[in-house]
Each structure stands twice: as C-alpha cells, then as structure tokens.
Amino acid sequence: MFFFYLLSGLFLGWSLGANDTGNIFGAAVETHMLKFKKAALIAAIFITLGAVLEGSGPSGTLGRLGSVDALAGAFTVALAAALTITLIVRIGIPVSTSQTIVGAIIGWNLFTGRLTDFSSLITIASSWVMAFVLSASIAALLFYLVRPFINRSRMHLLVQDMMIRYALIVVGAFGAYSLGANNIANVVGVFVPVSPFKDLALGAGISISGVQQLYLLGALSIVVGIYTYSHKVMRTVGKDLFHLSPITALVAITAEAIVLFLFASRGLYNLLLNSGMPTIPLVPVSSTQVIVGAVVGIGLAKGGKNIRYNILARVSFAWVAAPLMAALISFTLLFIIQNVFEQKVYQATSYIFDRKSITRISEEGFDTGALSTVNGRTFSTERDIYRELSDQHSLKRDEMIRVIKLAEIHHLKADYEKLLKGNMHESFSPAQQARLQAVNGREYRHKWQLEADLAGEPEFLYIANAQTEIEKNHNRILEGKLNILYRAFATP
C-alpha cells in the first residue's frame, strides 16, 4: 500500500519536473544555446544527485510546519499540491512547488485540528521573499560586471558563442543539482514520517539511508516530468517574460543556481555556523520565484523597458493563489478520503491534563493556574486546547504549544532491536546507543518521559532557552534523532 499511496508524491515529482526545469534551462533553450534533449539529460542527472546527496537539508523546516503522520494523509497532501501545480501549469504559468506543498500541509493541519507552527511558516515565507530579492540583486550585479567585459572583448563571435554554450552547461548542471537538493523535500518530504524504507549498508562504510531511497524515487519522477511536459513552461520563463540574449540567460541561471544552493547546502550552513557568521535557513524556496527574480533583476539593470509586466503580474498572482488553492483542495480531498473511502488520514491523538502532565508542565516553569479550565480533562485536538488556553490570556502562543505537547499521549516502548534491524542505530553516537540500550524495554505514555530517561546521557540533553544559532542547531539535530525514536518505539 505504501507504493500505491506514494503515487501522489511521484505525481508531484512529475509536476515539479514539468514546471521547474524551465527555471533552470528555459532561458538557454529558448535562446537556442542548448537543445532541449541535452538540457533535459543534464537536468535529469544532476537533479537526481542533488536530491539523494543533499536533499535532507530543507526537509526539517518543512516537517516542523506540519508532520503528516498517516500514509493516506501524506498521499492526499501530495496529491493536492500536484493537482494545484498541474492546473496552473496547463495555462503555461510557472508556479511554486514550495508554495503548493506548504499550502497543502496547512490544509492538513486545519482538517486534523493541529496547530500550524507559525515560526516555521514565517521562516519559510520570509525566505521566499529573501530569495526573490537576493536573486534579482545577484543577477543585476553579474549583469553589470559581465556587460563591460563582453563589450570590450575582441573575441570572435563563434568562439564567444561556444564559450557561452559550455558555460550554460556547467551552470545549468550546478543549478539542477541545487534544485534537486532544495526541492526534493517538496516532492516526498511528507512521506518521510511514514516511510517503510530501512537503511541499506553497501559495505566499505557506505550506506544509503531510508530517506535517501525515498528521495531517489522522487528524483526519478522528476526526470519523467522533465522529458514529458517541461518544454511549454520553458517558453514562459525563457521568452515570454523578458527577451533574453545568450549572455543574459547565462547570468539569470547563474544567479538562480547560487540562490538555490545557499538555501539547500547543509555543508555551507555548517561552515557559516562554525565560523560564527550569520547562517542562511535551510528551507525549500521557490525556484520559480528565484528565476523570475533573476530575470526581473536583469530587466531592471537594462532600464526595465522590455519587461512584460502583464506576464509578471500573472506569475505573481499564481504565487498568491497557489498556496490558497492547495490548502482548499487538500482540505476537501482529506474529507473525501476519510469519509467516502474510509481511509485514516491522520493518527488520532489524545491530550490529557492529569497529575503527571500537570507536574511536568509546572517543572518547566509554567504557571499551572492558567490551566484551571483544562485540568483533569482529556482532549482530542490541539485546537480545542488552544481555544481553552487562549481564553485565559495567561500564556503566549509558543508557551501554549509547548504545554499542549507535554499533555500529548504517545505510547512508546524502548526497543533497541528495532533500531538494529532498520540500521537506524547508525544515526546515534556510541554514547547515545549505550543510553538507548540502558532504557531498553521501558514503556512510556508521553514523549517527555522517554526524553527524561535519555537525558542521563549529555548528548541527549536539550539546550533550554537556546539563544545562539549553534545552540538552536544542536536542538534541531537532537529533535531529528528523537523523531526517529518516536517512530521506531511507537506502540498501539
């Protein structure tokens, strides 16, 4: 059934290949510097490499926005995003895959009564704006730097033409790699929490994680989309929005590749982090917005006279309409899948404010007097608790979310053998593995109870009130490891 449900994710991958490859090679193909078949082959190879080798970077932020915990739910969310993209792509307007999947996840949150993490949503949305502006700025700067060199060059036109072709291939490959790394989380990221794939040890210290196997399948679906439907969208980006010359096409693709890489590379993130420099968030950004930003930047650098603002307006409208449409389609499809086809689209979760959970909430420094209306009660949705706590006007939103998480019932049984069978133990250090073996066989009713038991090992300790980016990154890495344990140890 997993492979059946995964079809919607593969459909979304096909949509991304059909839509976003135009953002990488549309300008080059429409200026006749590259043939479509050659561009498609380069894109296929490097998108796959980027997805498998570095695709996990942006997926964490997307997962914090909303963690879809049922297979049928993941299927429906991916299907809603894919349908939204297909509807808009059919009229030749490139649309953001990042925005449609975010909209679909928010639709799932609304349907299930889960709270949307506004912090993650703001991070993602602000990154979209930042990516557009950054791409336009880089493209304009590159254009100003390249134009005098070209004008003064005495290079023969045929030699210049050949050099630009080679440059487009190299930059296009880099852009395709960055696209795969940044956007694969949009394709199959919602399936990560419910994926059955186990880590594969290939010998000689080489292994392929279950997530990488999932990303490989997503990348293959992108390749199919490239070859079957991407040519039409390439025309919109490469020709209709702004008439690009071969030089400006090279500048636009270079700017796009740089920006996608900045928001996808965990290696760059760690380098900046360890150097004490400001980091760039690892989030899936819209390659559509990035390439349009680059094209607009070049157009403005040339005076802005040749920009087709009516096409830009249509593209901009799609950016706003796409997430709203995806959220609506997601909500509607979830209702149909659950009530007509009787499939479980989310895991039913209970929240209890009993003596143990109230004591834990108090230990974390919260005023239990603000819990008077929920004390002793059991709830079935986060939204119901949030509504009750909001009426008290005593806790901030992030504090209420933490209180709700502490009250969540999540039955767990520590089973180290499960980690060994799935090769999941390799995600943990030797010291962490020793602590996991020490708690083997213990049962828990709340996630925080497992966390408290594991905290005997310093590497399992959260940094309270994390302020620096290094501390926040430590907590994010630990959160990812704990999520592995929650899935592995979950019991009915």
Can you give the pLDDT of all 492 residues of the chain as single tens digits?
888 999 999 998 988 887 777 778 876 777 777 888 888 899 999 999 999 988 776 777 777 888 898 999 999 999 999 898 888 767 766 677 888 999 999 999 999 999 998 888 898 889 888 999 999 999 999 999 988 887 787 788 788 888 888 898 899 999 999 999 999 988 998 998 888 887 777 776 677 888 889 999 999 999 999 888 777 666 555 555 556 778 888 898 899 999 999 999 888 998 999 898 889 998 988 887 888 888 889 988 888 776 777 767 777 777 788 899 999 999 999 999 999 999 999 999 999 999 999 999 999 999 888 899 999 999 999 999 999 999 888 899 989 999 999 999 999 999 999 998 877 888 899 999 999 999 999 999 999 999 999 998 999 999 988 888 899 899 989 998 999 899 899 998
Contact criterion met (CB below 8 Å) for 238 and 249:
yes
Angle at 297 between CA 295 and CA 298, to 5 degrees: 65
Q: 76, 77, 79: which is closest to 105 by C-alpha? A: 77
Contact criterion met (CB below 8 Å) for 487 and 411:
no
Can you give the pLDDT at residue 220?
94
In this structure, the number of other CB atoms found within 10 A of the CB of residue 376 comes to 11
Distance CA 181, CA 55 (A): 4
Q: 208, 58, 60, 237: which is closest to 135 by C-alpha? A: 237
Can you give the pLDDT at residue 119?
85
Can you give the pLDDT at residue 336?
97
- The H-or-E segment that residue 486 falls in is helix 469-489
Cβ-in-10-Å burial (0-12, 13-18, 19+) of 147 comes to middle
What separation in angstroms does the CA of 277 have from each of 7, 237, 270, 285, 299? 41, 35, 10, 21, 32
Q: 361, 42, 292, 269: which is closest to 173 by C-alpha? A: 42
Give the position of tokens 């010998």: 203
Q: Where are the alpha helices (DSSP H) in 305-391?
A: 309-339, 355-363, 382-390
- 454 DSSP 8-state letter: H
Q: 389, 472, 483, 486: which is closest to 120 by C-alpha? A: 472
- 236 DSSP 8-state letter: I
Give the position of tokens 């980027």: 50
Distance CA 28, CA 327 (A): 34
**Both tokens assigned to 43:** 């894109």
- Using DSSP, state whether 351 is helix, strand or coil: strand
- 490 DSSP 8-state letter: B
Distance CA 89, CA 15 (A): 8
Query: In this structure, what are the phi and psi dihedrals at residue 378, rounded to the nearest 5 degrees?
Result: -120, 135
Give the position of tokens 């956007």: 183
Contact criterion met (CB below 8 Å) for 76 and 345:
yes
Distance CA 341, CA 323 (A): 25
Angle at 299 between CA 295 and CA 302, to 5 degrees: 145
Distance CA 14, CA 114 (A): 29
Query: In this structure, what are the phi and psi dihedrals at residue 374, rounded to the nearest 5 degrees?
Result: -110, -10
Whole-prediction pTM: 0.88
Distance CA 236, CA 89 (A): 10
Q: 172, 202, 180, 165: which is closest to 31 by C-alpha? A: 165
Cβ-in-10-Å burial (0-12, 13-18, 19+) of 178 comes to buried
* E-state strands within 69-115: none
Q: What Rg, from alpha-carbon coordinates, does the chain have?
A: 24
Query: In this structure, what are the phi and psi dihedrals at residue 450, rounded to the nearest 5 degrees?
Result: -65, -45
Q: Name 49's Cβ contacts closer than 8 Å, sequence gap at least 6.
A: 177, 180
**Both tokens assigned to 377:** 């009660």
